[in-house]
Chain A
Amino acid sequence: MAFKRTPQTFNCSMNEVTFGTGEKAVTIGGENVYPLYTFDGEIKNKVAIGVEITDNGFDASVPGIAEFYAGCEGMAAIAKRASEMPGASFVVLTLEGADPNGQNKSIEECAAIAKEVADAIDCPLAVQGCKNIEKDTELFSKVAELCAGKNILIVSARQEDYKTVAASAVMAYGQKMSAESAVDINLAKQLNVLISQMGIAAENCVQNVGSAAAGYGFEYVASTLDRVVGAALTQNDGMLQMPIVTPVGGESWVVKESTASEEDVPEWGSREERGIEMEVSTAAACIIGGSNAVFMRHPEAVKTIANLVNALM
């Protein structure tokens, strides 16, 4: 008696969203099987990897990252180099310097950097804010305006500012947006409902359902991803079928495992290796959970995850 295979395919699928323009535009989503379950059915689009840089450039404290960007003067050169990182298909610019509790750079200055980056690269761009809602709301509007025609991805619109982001970024300037909620399927759905009620079409919105580094409450991320993908596919829940993007680099490189110095914990070995493995592990766990795109930092980690995606999809 042979083994009876029972593939799980569904009559519905995740939405497809394309950002960027031209040949290098990136399309994510569209699958009608569980993440990486190629044995159940063909998966339409590969998981995409975005390379994260900030308005301050890159993390020069990590030798491998510093080496990768060696010789780059100015944001345009850094962005160009990031866009060429093997395995990645788009660039993520995090405007951390806008934070009023940090460097407090002006809206104009940050938006100009976004414009400079967008012009310097020929692949798609995603822009993350500084996590300060008030500042981000204004910042995203300005960035969307200056980058008009580039079809960039604005990350993210939250419960508090989704209206402005949807109205300015998507409706006025034709960009794409990401709806961000904190590791809870109900919050994710509620926000997606509100955004769709504003008339934002399915092809213009992705979702970020929350993120954490491996070991730091990742069970919430894993279960939220499982439940969102499950509801999207098994119940054909149109309000959860947005493709999923997950910022990984920012989470992975701030935890103790990736930051503790070699003097403080000699038995742990190279700090850089620890950071790479943390980023790799977190990204892989997100992808098997259902992330259609991940944002990452280290060239070695990006290469590894690109290989994983190629090997499994």
Chain B
Amino acid sequence: MALKGIDIFKLTPKKNCKECGSPTCMAFAMKVAQGSADISACPYMSDEAKAQLSEATAPPMKTIKVGAGECEHTLGGETVLYRHEATFVQRPLFGVCLCSDCVDEKLENTLKVDYERIGEREYVEVLYLIYKGDKDAYLELVKKSMGKGRLLVLDCKDADAAAAALEVCGADKPILNGATPENYQAMSELASKCGVVLGVGAADLDALYDTVAALEAAGNKNLILDVTGADAKESLSNAVQVRRAALKNQDRTFGYPSIVNLAKLAKDDLHTQVALASVFILKYASIIVMQEMTYATALPLYGLRQNIFTDPQKPMRVEPGIYPLNGADENAPCAVTTDFALTYFLVSGELERSGVPVNLLISDGGGYSVLTSWAAGKFSAGTIDKFLKEQDIEGKIKSRTLIIPGKVAVLKGELEEKLPGWEIKISPNEASGLVKFMKDL
């Protein structure tokens, strides 16, 4: 249960020494209860009290670090079930499953999907290596998958083969996804010895719960839950109930990140895997494993993931600059708007649909939409003028037509004064009117 500030206050020395940085012990206790201060900041609390409190004030879902070096990732640490309640923290990783038979043809194609979308690198972060009973072939698979800058997950329930694989790639800190109610003791010892995260799976949620409880009792809290069930329905049920138990019902036994293998649920049906991946992006998977990843599957899935895992309080921004559309050259007119990602997508989409070459100028509006940034003084004649000078638009573009958003039509006069020689045109209020506007230009 979450502790109230007053309960924490009772355990403080109540001497208001300010050494923790808070003015009073009461203030400190309130901060700890909110999660904005750490209990260890108090130098006078007894170790016993600290242990008691750090357990009670621990986050409901653990934050787990996996991988090493360039393929290090953080999983979990979520605090809410719905992103509007605060924000989702760790975007899920995507993986592609590989086995010794298919690695040669699939690995190369998997690595090809690698691009940037609004400041984030989009690629297959995880290689999911499936053990099929032949240890030597598996070690070969592990070796081929190493050194690609991707996190490895060993899907292997055979402790002997897993130990051999970890000898090869243990330094890269892969995830060992192979603990079951039957083998968890041996697997846990192996994972702990190598310092890697252990994936736990079971036939149903009850068995999974008991196994996690047993692992925790044995001292292993470096876990990830494999929620893949017999079918899609059971897997969704598992993913939701695990997360809900942790966050809503404060049942910390299920307070771990989760992994789901869609290749198992919809074998050879990539369309259905895309549908399921979309569901699991929203419903709580930390690692989503696909049979393969192509640009066709990556583009919508990574776009969706980027949308869902933006902080609702921090708008998504695009980089300010010149974006030539429809093959625009230096003679094409300019259209200016703000750097709010949604504004950019709507405006650039409609401009592209018009087929008319145009240089879209994205100025720094603080990541706000046109009206909001205008109201905040971040999108004015002054800022547009400054932007044009900073980017040397007059040197780069010969056209002297500047289209401004209809919502800031009031800027026209002032812009004409600041930008002599430019013709200022006013576009419609809504992006949907842009196609006709551009064609009539």
Which residue of B237, B240, B275, B295 is within 8 Å of A274 (Cβ)?
A: B295
Q: Let me know if B433 and A308 touch, CB within 8 A.
A: no
Q: With both chains docked as a complex, state the minimum distance between the C-beta of B223 and any C-beta of chain A, in angstroms.
A: 15
Chain B positions within 8 Å of A287 at CB level: 279
Are B349 and A255 touching (Cβ within 8 A)? yes
**Distance between Cα atoms of A19 and B302 in the complex (Å):** 36
B271 adjacent to chain A (CB < 8 Å): yes
Interface pair B312/A219, CB less than 8 Å apart: yes
Report the Cα distance A242→B119, complex, angstroms. 38
Please tell me if A304 contacts chain B, counting CB pairs below 8 Å.
Answer: yes
In the complex, A44 has a CB within 8 A of chain B: no
Chain B residue at minimal CB-CB distance from A257: B299
Q: In the bound complex, do residue B283 and residue A288 qualify as a contact, i.e. CB atoms below 8 Å apart?
A: yes
B281 part of interface (Cβ distance < 8 Å): yes
Residue of B nearest to A131 (CB): B432
**Closest residue to A255 on the B side, CB-wise?**
B349
Closest residue of chain A to B254 (Cβ to Cβ) is: A3
Given the interface pairs A2-B209, A268-B295, the reply to whether A222 lies near B278 with Cβ below 8 Å is: no
Given contacts A254-B353, A300-B271, contact A215 B282 (CB under 8 A): no
A217-B279 in contact (CB<8A): no
Residues A222 and B299 in contact in the complex (CB < 8 Å), given A217-B345, A256-B349, A307-B272 = no
B210 partner residues in chain A, CB cutoff 8 A: 1-3
B308 interface neighbour in A222, A267, A268, A300, Cβ under 8 Å:
A222
Total A-B pairs, Cβ < 8 A: 179
B271 touches A276 (CB 8 A): yes
Q: Are A268 and B300 touching (Cβ within 8 A)?
A: no
- Our pick among A37, A223, A283, A303 for the contact of B240 (Cβ within 8 Å) is A37
A106-138 Cβ-contact flags toward B at 8 Å (1 or 0)? 000000000000000000000000010000000
Q: Are A217 and B342 touching (Cβ within 8 A)?
A: yes
In terms of DSSP, what is the predominant structure of the interface of chain B?
helix
* Known A226-B83, A280-B274; contact A3-B294, beta-carbon cutoff 8 A: no
Q: Using a CB-CB cutoff of 8 Å, which residues 269-317 of chain B contact chain A? A: 269, 271-272, 274-279, 281-283, 294-297, 299-304, 306-308, 310, 312
Residue tally, chain A, CB below 8 Å to B? 59
Q: Taking the complex as formed, is A163 at the interface, i.e. its CB lies under 8 A from any CB of chain B? A: no
Residues of B within 8 A of A (CB): 82-84, 112, 117, 205-206, 208-210, 213, 231-233, 236-237, 240-241, 244-245, 248-249, 251, 253-254, 269, 271-272, 274-279, 281-283, 294-297, 299-304, 306-308, 310, 312, 341-342, 345-346, 349, 352-353, 432-433, 435-436
Some 10 contacts from A to B, beta carbons below 8 A apart, are A2-B209, A3-B245, A5-B241, A39-B240, A39-B241, A213-B303, A222-B83, A227-B82, A256-B349, A277-B301
What is A's interface to B at a CB cutoff of 8 Å? 1-6, 8, 36-39, 101-102, 131, 213-220, 222-223, 226-227, 230, 254-257, 259, 267-270, 273-274, 276-278, 280-285, 287-289, 300-301, 303-305, 307-308, 311-312
